[in-house]
Amino acid sequence: MARKLEGKVALITGSGRGIGREIAFKLALEGARVVVNDLDAGPAADTVRAIRDAGGVACACPGNVAAADFAQRFIDTAIDNYQGLDIIVNNAGYTWDNVIQKTSDEQWEAMLEVHLTAPFRLLRAAQPVIRALSKKELEDGRRVVRKVVNISSVAGLFGNAGQANYSAAKAGIVGMTQTLAKEWGRMNVGVNCVAFGLIKTRLTTSVAGVDSASIDGRDIKLGVRPDMLEAMERSIPLGRGGTAEEAAGAVYLFCIPESDYISGQTLMCSGGLTGF
């Protein structure tokens, strides 16, 4: 049986760990050639190695998605290695929470930079490449559908106490998704968004003895207090937080041919949770 993404080239930010790693695996096992990114070179290389060991095709482009030169470097890695660009998943990010009166300018700007400005720059850099590919395909009488999947959060749809910065950025990515769906439809690009609820990763469930991590040079608190996590899970209709594999499945839905006529949409992957 033919794999659904055979020959496609997929770029996934923040794919060295957690949800992004599972997205990279899922797309690679369906035949996509994947460009893996992580802030740190080690996790990116580990994901590439694991994909190759499983029979997939992948290469790494480590680095900070918020760096001014990252977007072009990421696009160039895909073109240089695989001569194409079919799927972009803007997944990289983290949270840095506080109530608004205690949120510094640095905290505010950091969340907008990683969750909104970095995807904007990547999609801006991708547009000339996609336009040229689409024009050539049209001249050849071929129709190729490409996909963009941006990652939002239920916090971006409904807000969440202590996350004014994160919620604003995640709301912004929904607006950008809807705008690009209108701009890029003429190039046969479906642009959609997945809004996650509580997904269990290192950012929400800390490893025993580890309560912080260095992310982009900042010491960021990891995890949610067990009592708070339990209360959050009780509020989810399915009764539990989601897994990284389940989160990847929602992204996958927007990458496969069955979703070729879907664009400008936001899918909640939240176990039925529709607000906090």
- Strand-strand pairing, 57-60 and 189-196: unpaired
Q: Rounded CA gap, 25 and 87, in Å? A: 14
Q: Residue written as tokens 């176990």? A: 271
Give the helix/strand (H/E) hosting 60: strand 57-60
Nearest to 250 by CA among 203, 200, 192: 192
**82 catalytic, yes or no?**
no
Give the helix/strand (H/E) hosting 107: helix 105-112
Catalytic residue among 94, 166, 252, 261: 166
Contact 2, 25 (CB under 8 A): no
Tokens for 275, please give them. Answer: 């607000």
DSSP 225-244: -HHHHHHHHHTSTTSSPBPH
The answer for residues whose C-beta is within 8 angstroms of residue 198's C-beta and 6 or more apart is 204, 232, 233, 236, 241, 242, 270, 271, 273
Contact 204, 241 (CB under 8 A): yes
- Helix 118-139 to helix 164-184 angle (10° resolution) is 10
Cβ neighbours around 253 below 10 Å, total = 15
Active site residues: 166
